[in-house]
Amino acid sequence: MEYLGSLGDDKTVCGGVIRQFQAICAYPHGSWHEEPLMDYLEALCRSRGWTTIRDTYNNLRADVPATPGMERAPLVVLQGHTDMVCAVAPGSGYRPAEDPIVTVVEDGVLRSDRRSSLGADNNLGNAAVLWLLGQGVPHGPLRLLFTVAEEVGLQGAKRVDPAWLEGARYLINTDGFTFGQAVISSAGGRRETYTKKLHTVPRAGGHAFAIRLSGFLGGHSGYDIHKGRGNAIKLLALFLGELREQVDYDLADFRGGHAHNAIPLEAEAVITADRAFAAPLAMAVERLRSNMARLFSHTDPDIQVSLREVPPPERVWNRGSRDSTLDLAALLYNGVFAMHDSLPGQVSASANLGRLYVNDRREIELDEFIRCAIDFSEEILGFQHARAAKLTGFHVQADSYPGWLGDADNPLARAMAKVYRRQTGGKLDITAVHVGLEPSVLGARHPGLTMISSGPDIVNPHSTDEHAPIDTLAPYVRLLAGTLEELART
């Protein structure tokens, strides 16, 4: 008999999870800046009598004793990452390194106040686990594993001591975005960072104009890449590349996006040109606005294209810096590259141009993210990108992680499917996803580990429109509770 009645009704469960999530949101937690949040989580775990270990990277382990009588059940790891992609609404004044996330519940969803992304990826799953284990649900021995820096290439998971996984039979990752799914396979990933020293020259004269593309929906470069959303950086770079044939201009600035693995919401360039080119420039921008409105009317209906005169800068990029940057941005692949041959509708390979800006070292930097389920696809894209870098004089640094080729016919998936059918009358969708998940790294460190990933519904992660429909929160908590009890009693 499942211990579900004592959790309370759906309103009670949702309220408890949301309060726990809001407590997490009080601490800024961008990648590699999770220390204050980990201080809070460690103190919370210790206050409940759980034994904790924390490594030098701020990964946190907490051992939760079994319910009396269930001590001989297999050890289950409940794992989630604590960092977030900090998308910021233009002009909002939000400071990711300093400001808490302000949450709002409206129209049946949990969201931020729209100044920032929500960070439900993955802290809503962490909040569900923490609240649930405070309710006295029956379970065998558990180990909580909170990792850092997942959003920058699963870096925290790569640094987890393999000893932290010793003795575990099962691992439930809570980084899923769709309730009713159990993920048993994920794509490998390759983060590419292209850099080249920026060379500038004194501005020769002329007026300065800012061209801005904004209002794109953006999103997660894995979960949302198949939706055909516009990439603001790519579109602006292509426009500026074509503009070279029509207007004699210099480039003074180009920036857009905020992370390798987020589809960019906006991009802006500042150019300088003689006043005589103002009219042709305005006409070219108007054509761009019209074409984008038609091309992205369904995926990005709120796109805006603006042209305004700005104070002229003292220096501009030399033509070599300008042309090589625009050429590289044009040559880097963006969007879906291949589909699975055995999983209809499932993306197999993709790439995303996530950021272009001048970094603190006065280098032009472009950030690209490749996702592939098959190594050969990564080889093809990697070769194409290496040639593009060589042709344009950019240096590329790459960091990758493996895919996770799981088995749907495993006892953990079967146990969750059994509980799901009992609780909902439906069939659990056991599937693969086109994103990187930490089980790919953790499973390699402990080959005998049986793993799945699950979670409540999360929509538009990695964007300021990220939100979580609250009607799946309570069902997800009940599914976790039922699964833990099922594993402890079998």
Taking a C-beta distance cutoff of 8 angstroms, is the pair 67, 139 a contact?
A: yes
Which of 34, 42, 121, 150 is catalytic? The answer is 150
DSSP secondary structure string, 375-400?
Answer: HHHHHHHHHHHHHHHHHHT-EEEEEE
Q: At what angle do helices 120-132 and 473-489 cross, to 10 degrees?
A: 60
Active site residue 471: no
- SS (HEC) of the chain: CCCCHHHCCHHHHHHHHHHHHHHHHCCCCECCCCHHHHHHHHHHHHHCCCEEEECCCCCEEEEECCCCCCCCCCEEEEEEECCECCCECCCCCCCCCCCCCCEEEECCEEEECCCECCCHHHHHHHHHHHHHCCCCCCCCCEEEEEECCHHHCCHHHHCCCHHHHCCEEEEEECCCCCCCEEEEEECEEEEEEEEEECCEEECCCCEEEEEEEECCCCEECCCCHHHCCCCHHHHHHHHHHHHCCCCCEEEEEEEEECCCCEECCCEEEEEEECHHHHHHHHHHHHHHHHHHHHHCCCCCCCCEEEEEEECCCCEEECHHHHHHHHHHHHHCCCEEEEECCCCCCCEEEEEEEEEEEECCCCEEEEEEEEEECCHHHHHHHHHHHHHHHHHHCCEEEEEEECCEECCCCCHHHHHHHHHHHHHHCCCCEEEEECCCCCHHHHHHHCCCCEEEECCCCCECCCCCCCEEEHHHHHHHHHHHHHHHHHHHHC
Active site residue 83: yes
User: Element (H or E) spanning 168, and its range?
Assistant: strand 168-173
Secondary structure (3-state) at 93: coil
Cα–Cα distance measured from residue 374 to residue 372, given in angstroms and rounded to the nearest whole number: 5
Which of 2, 34, 42, 83 is catalytic? The answer is 83
Please identify every residue annotated as catalytic. Answer: 83, 150
